[in-house]
Structure formats: C-alpha cells, structure tokens
Amino acid sequence: MKDLTVLVVDDEARMRKLIKDFLAQKDFNILEAEDGEKALKVYNDNKNKINLILLDVMMPKLDGWSVLRQIRQENKALPIIMLTARSEEQDELFGFELGVDEYIAKPFSPKILVARVEAILKRTTSKTKEIKDYDGIVIDNEGRTVTVDGKLVELSFREYELLKYLLENENIALSRDKILNTVWNYDYYGDSRTIDSHIKKIRHKLGKKGKHIQTIRGIGYKFEIK
C-alpha cells in the first residue's frame, strides 16, 4: 500500500497514534487532524492525494457528521470510514444517508481496522481496465465511474460497490444477507434497512434506469433488463 495516504481524524492523541502505528507497518502515508475544523483544512490542502479518511464522530469544534457533509458536497467517491463509540441503529442509518462507507465501533481491533482499510483501498485503486454497458448504464472499473446515457452519475464508494455487485450478478436474486456480507465485506449486524437506504439512493441517481433494480419480496434485490 505504498504511496497511499490515509487521513486519521480523532480528538484523542492516543487513538491517532495507535492507528498511525498500525497503518505505518503497511507503508501507508498518514495525515492527522485532532478536530473537525483541522480535518477540513488538512483535506482541502491534500485532497488530490488522500485515498481514504478515518473519521471520528464526536469531536470538538466540528463533529464528524459536519465534516462528512462538507466533504461529500464535492467528493462522493472518496472512501470514508466512521469511528464511533455509539452503535445505535438510527445513528448508523443517518450516517449511511450522508455517505458513510463503513462503520467501525470503538473499541476495535487495530488489525481488523487495517484489514478493512486495505480491503477498501484494494478495490478503489484497482487498475483493471473493464467497461461494461447495461442498457445505457456504463460502469468503468478502472476509472470507477458510472454513466447513464452518457451522463456521469456521482456515487459514494459503497453505492458504487453495491451497484457493481448487482450488475455483475444480472438476473440473479440476491438476498440482503449476501449483499451485506459481500459488498460490506464483513458480517454486518445492523438492520437490513441499510441496504434499502442505499438502493433507494442508487435508483434515484439512475433515473429511469433505476427500474432495472427490482425488489424481490422476502429476499432482496435483482438487476434485470427486460
């Protein structure tokens, strides 16, 4: 993971050092911020080289939600993992609505955190050249872009991964559990409404083509072109 940069945002110096030490073992470049205002400054100064953000929720000056909102206004694709001591379902759903790609609850295993960071960056930095067209929905795996009838559609990392998974399994009914375990890349013990929320947003962004994502009652979803 050389030449990949992670911005670590947490108001606890001990926590930042712990994360930094483990990520450094994998040759990541690390940027730090101790509050929300500093996080936005570091992001704006380094936006062209930051590959992923680890963002704490509860911070002074500006909380993680506010930081997330501002970054998502201009960058929908940058992977953002929220670090939170709260595990309430509604908080997580709220975060996914704002564009969070993944949650990691404190306390966490630093090794698991590094593994999740590597898994996300392995997909986002893939250079495999592959462009596929699904009735005007064109997905470019190298550029990690999606266009609909030639118009670019802005998707978050998780929205992109979910749509890509549905497209790659065209005409196959996929259960919510299978989607969670594959797209989120680990056993997510939250409410299945997480998927429903993402599907709703994807359908909206695809416009008329969103009809190809069908709800399979009692199972999950399927992408089908009739």
Q: What CATH number is attached to the domain comprising 90?
A: 3.40.50.2300
Listed residues 124, 156, 185: the one ending a domain: 124
Query: What is the rounded average pLDDT for all residues in the chain?
Result: 88
The domain boundary, picked from 76, 105, 124, lies at 124
Nearest to 67 by CA among 55, 75, 49: 55
Residue 128 predicted with pLDDT over 60:
no
Q: Note the pLDDT of residue 127.
A: 57
Note the pLDDT tens digit of each residue in 132-163: 889 999 998 877 889 999 999 999 888 999 99
Q: Are 79 and 157 in contact (CB under 8 A)?
A: yes
Shared domain for 189 and 89, answered yes or no, is: no
Q: What per-residue confidence (pLDDT) applies to 91?
A: 65
pTM equals 0.66
pLDDT more than 90, % of the chain: 57
Same domain (yes/no): 194, 137: yes
Distance CA 74, CA 15 (A): 28
Gap between the Cα atoms of 44 and 88, Å rounded? 31
Q: Beta-strand (E) ranges in 85-190?
A: 102-105, 131-134, 137-140, 145-148, 151-153, 174-175
Residues 63 and 155 both lie in one domain: no
What is the mean predicted confidence (pLDDT) over 199-223?
95
| pLDDT tens digits for range 104-120 | 888 888 998 999 899 88
pLDDT at residue 197 tops 70: yes
CATH, residue 150: 1.10.10.10
User: What range does the domain containing 147 cover?
Assistant: 131-223
Cross-strand partners of 5: 29, 50
Q: Determine the Cα–Cα distance for residues 54 and 7; give it in Å rounded to an integer.
A: 6
Q: What is the DSSP string of 34-102?
A: SSHHHHHHHHHHHTTTEEEEEEESS-SSS-HHHHHHHHHHH-SSS-EEEEES---HHHHHHHHHHT--E
H-run or E-run covering 33: strand 29-33
Per the CB < 8 A criterion, the answer to whether 194 and 92 are in contact is yes
Do 11 and 91 fall into the same domain? yes
Quick check: 81 pLDDT over 80? Answer: yes
Verify that 54 and 35 share a domain, yes or no: yes
Residue in this structure with the two tokens 């909206």, named with its chain if needed: 204
Q: Which of 124, 147, 176 is the last residue of a domain?
A: 124
Which of 39-48, 95-104, 120-129 is modeled with the greatest confidence? 39-48
Same domain for 106 and 197, yes or no, is: no
Query: Is the CB of residue 44 less than 8 Å from the CB of residue 37?
Result: no
Do 21 and 61 lie in one domain? The reply is yes
Same domain, 81 and 192: no
Does residue 118 share a domain with residue 25?
Answer: yes
- Tokens representing residue 185 in the block: 């890349």
3-state secondary structure of 139: strand
Tens-place pLDDT, residues 170-182: 999 999 888 988 8
